[in-house]
Amino acid sequence: MTLHTPKITGAQGRPVIRQLDEAAINRIAAGEVVERPASAVKELVENALDAGASRIQVDISDGGKTLIRVTDDGCGMTAEDLPLALSRHATSKIDGSDLLDIRSFGFRGEALPSLGAVGRLTITSRADGDAAQIACEGSRMSPVRPAALTRGTVVELRDLFFATPARLKFLRSDRAELQAVTEVIRRLAMAEPQVGFTLRDVTGGEARTLFRADPANGDLFDALQSRLASVIGRDFTDNALRIDAERDGLRLQGYAALPTYSRGSSAQQYLFVNGRPVLDRMLYGSLRAAYFDVLSRDRHPAAVLNLIADPQRVDVNVHPAKAEVRFREPDAARSLIITALKSALSGAGHRASTTVGAATLDAFRPEPRVYQMDRPSPASFARAFAFQSPGFAEAPQAPTFTPPSEENAQPHDEHPLGAARAQLHENYIVAQTAKGIVIVDQHAAHERLVYERLKRQLADTGIRAQALLIPEIVDLSPTDAARVLDAAPALAEVGLTIEPFGGNAVAIRETPAVLGPVNGAALLRDILDELADSGDSQLVRAKIDAILSRMACHGSVRSGRQMRPEEMNALLREMEATPLSGQCNHGRPTYVELSLHDIERLFGRR
């Protein structure tokens, strides 16, 4: 079956080239810029931010299909500016001389004319003089007329896609579109913590606040932490590490969560470049690589990170919605993210997320009982009958307790993980700290300690390569051959030696000795998949670390082994001195900590 495309032909049957009218051009441009109501909200809110607004309010109706209204207190526009604002490629953001020196959200001058082409758009604004208003419907502009407005700008978009009704069929339910709009506002609120944002649903004439974030005060990190607490939740900020690293003219700032605060999806990963929310595979791959030896594959890190670079080194003009960027030196950006996060995670030492302790307390709390439906046990019935019989004279026996002698009593230990007091079920160490207790999974904790020790030894001695008696020849496509040969120096550092073998074939001459016998062709194709996905490959390193992890598992203290007090304390001290000891090799916690306050609450003492 072939797709028949009708052509406009001339007298000789040749296709005729003709100039499209302005309305058609705007509708085509709108198809690239405005996919759904959330796209329109993003463009309008970014315009408000570029105008220097300190407070932005967004009102929507029916998921944004019938109404989107954005009100800001920015610098505003004059009556002379309004017709220009609705003209294609008219903008105040750039002068067109250098498309790589972009320091604002918007710069193409396409958003407003595109919205005016597919909806009923009204702009009311006030700068220094009187307020003015202009309307645009299906690319037809009305004359500018006086209006009433205190300051700033109000952009009202009604009946989105009325001029292109076919696009309405591709929109999702009102609830789904509303969620997409909310996510756009949340991302922009994280990018600009010192700006206030309000999102309201005015469907049916009643205003319902869906999201509100007041302007945050303080320096960059304090303001960002306050904003993240209100947008993502205090659980994230309580368990996140501050990131502030600089390298090769790039700077990374933000917060990254502890591995024990991992999530089941990537929903809590927010990445920005110069404050612009982006969805970039290379950046997300770098974030995943930074956590790859502390999280299992089915868990995802949580992070809010902003990569700051000279605009000359980042091209944001590669996607109509400006959601993707291109770096002049992508390796530098990737290296900064990985090294900064790894350093922060290592610096966190044995720290585990506070949610671990909260989950432990929840596990201790008994299920609520409905006492009026409880039935006495048979033993209770027998005891009651015995009590009613003559001669019953049983007296309750008080439990005996022998206090510890002075020579056996130990003082409170001031170490972070305390002093070992007991071992339960030959697997859990109970330690007393100055402020509570710590319960340690001895096998998981020692497994991480041995794993880190093996990694240090490997880093000191290097990864030994095993030369193949007969090199393994792998035929690839021209693109794959070039890609894997470009990565050959990095692969050689982890013991995998690859050389060209003529044409599109490559020869695998050495493999990492620690991996033992490997299927070179399958390994190489897995590496190529990772290179295509993220631009870099950690696969060989991940396989080596998996081997070390298995070795650590077999070489660590087993569950069921009784440990002497000095052994338990030695384990606690080594955990305090070892990076990442707060979680096992798969990201699960190695210990939980309960404060004395929490324990007293369990017994109703507070």
Whether residue 376 lies inside any domain: the answer is: no
Res 400: pLDDT: 37
Q: Mind listing the pLDDT tens digit for each residue in 318-355?
A: 666 667 788 888 889 999 999 999 999 888 767 766 66
- Spatial neighbors of 503 by CB under 8 A, at least 6 apart, are 475
- Average pLDDT estimate for 18-22: 72
Identify the burial level of 446 via C-beta atoms within 10 angstroms of its C-beta, where 0-12 means exposed, 13-18 middle and 19 or more buried.
buried
Angle among Cα 418, 412, 579 to the nearest 5 degrees reads 20
296 and 248, same structural domain? yes
Whether residue 395 lies inside any domain: the answer is: no
Whether residue 498 lies inside any domain: the answer is: yes
Res 369: pLDDT: 43
Tally the C-alpha atoms within 13 A of residue 435's C-alpha that lie toward its C-beta.
Answer: 8
**Across 189-198, 387-396, 487-496, least confident range:** 387-396
Q: Which of the pair, 199 or 435, is modelled with greater confidence?
A: 199
Question: Cα–Cα distances in Å, from 589 out to 297, 316, 354, 448?
Answer: 16, 40, 11, 10
Question: Cα–Cα distances in Å, from 260 out to 281, 354, 374, 405, 582?
Answer: 24, 9, 39, 40, 8
- Average pLDDT estimate for 451-459: 80
Nearest to 246 by CA among 345, 337, 311, 344: 337
359 and 303, same structural domain? no
What is the C-alpha to C-alpha distance for residues 545 and 518, in angstroms, rounded to an integer?
Answer: 15
CATH classification at residue 509: 3.30.1370.100
Whether residue 54 lies inside any domain: the answer is: yes
What is the C-alpha to C-alpha distance for residues 564 and 474, in angstroms, rounded to an integer?
Answer: 55
Q: Is the pTM of the predicted complex or chain greater than 0.75? A: no
DSSP state letters, 140-174: EEPPPEE---SSEEEEEEESTTSSSGGGGGG---H
Q: How many domains does the chain have?
A: 3
Top mean pLDDT of 39-43, 278-282, 510-514, 546-550 is at 39-43
241 and 193, same structural domain? no
473 and 339, same structural domain? no
Asked if the model's pLDDT at residue 456 lies above 50, the reply is yes
Question: Cα–Cα distances in Å, from 488 out to 471, 481, 482, 498, 501?
Answer: 15, 10, 10, 6, 13
**Across 105-114, 204-213, 236-245, 463-472, least confident range:** 105-114
Asked if the model's pLDDT at residue 8 lies above 90, the reply is no
Q: How confident is the model at residue 357 (pLDDT cuts 50, 70, 90)?
A: low
Domain stop point among 296, 321, 347: 347
Question: Cα–Cα distances in Å, from 125 out to 60, 81, 93, 135, 149?
Answer: 19, 10, 18, 12, 7
Res 268: pLDDT: 93
166 and 53, same structural domain? yes
Whether residue 338 lies inside any domain: the answer is: yes
Q: Which of the pair, 225 or 380, is modelled with greater confidence?
A: 225
3-state SS record for 353-388: CHHHHHHHHHHHCCCCCCHHHCCCCHHHHHHHHHHH
443 and 592, same structural domain? yes
Q: How confident is the model at residue 390 (pLDDT cuts 50, 70, 90)?
A: very low
pLDDT above 90 coverage of the chain, percent: 34
Q: Which of the pair, 20 or 280, is modelled with greater confidence?
A: 280
540 touches 512 (CB < 8 A): yes
42 touches 184 (CB < 8 A): yes
537 and 431, same structural domain? yes
Structural domain for 174, as ranges: 22-211
Asked if the model's pLDDT at residue 591 lies above 50, the reply is yes
Res 194: pLDDT: 94
564 and 441, same structural domain? yes
524 and 499, same structural domain? yes
Res 354: pLDDT: 67
- Average pLDDT estimate for 512-519: 79
What is the C-alpha to C-alpha distance for residues 518 and 465, in angstroms, rounded to an integer?
Answer: 13
Q: Mind listing the pLDDT tens digit for each residue in 95-130?
A: 455 555 555 665 555 778 888 888 899 999 998 889
103 touches 312 (CB < 8 A): no
Whether residue 384 lies inside any domain: the answer is: no
449 and 308, same structural domain? no
Asked if the model's pLDDT at residue 259 lies above 80, the reply is yes
CATH classification at residue 308: 3.30.230.10
**Taking each helix axis from N to C terminus, what angle separates 330-347 and 281-290, rounded to the nearest 10 degrees?**
30
Res 312: pLDDT: 86
Asked if the model's pLDDT at residue 227 lies above 50, the reply is yes
Asked if the model's pLDDT at residue 366 lies above 60, the reply is no
- Spatial neighbors of 87 by CB under 8 A, at least 6 apart, are 109, 113
Q: Mind listing the pLDDT tens digit for each residue in 169-178?
A: 888 999 999 9
Strands 591-595 and 152-158, how do they pair?
unpaired
496 and 475, same structural domain? yes
Neighbours of 221 (CB within 10 A): 15
Identify the burial level of 548 via C-beta atoms within 10 angstroms of its C-beta, where 0-12 means exposed, 13-18 middle and 19 or more buried.
buried
Whether residue 126 lies inside any domain: the answer is: yes
Which alpha helices (H) appear in 2-139, and where do they start and end?
A: 22-33, 37-50, 81-85, 111-118
Whether residue 386 lies inside any domain: the answer is: no
Q: Which of the pair, 109 or 199, is modelled with greater confidence?
A: 199
Mean per-residue pLDDT of the chain: 81
The pair of three-digit structure tokens given for residue 8, joined into one six-digit string: 């406009």
Question: Cα–Cα distances in Å, from 547 out to 19, 294, 514?
Answer: 64, 14, 7
Q: How confident is the model at residue 409 (pLDDT cuts 50, 70, 90)?
A: very low
Asked if the model's pLDDT at residue 455 lies above 70, the reply is yes
Neighbours of 322 (CB within 10 A): 21
353 and 330, same structural domain? no
Asked if the model's pLDDT at residue 392 lies above 50, the reply is no
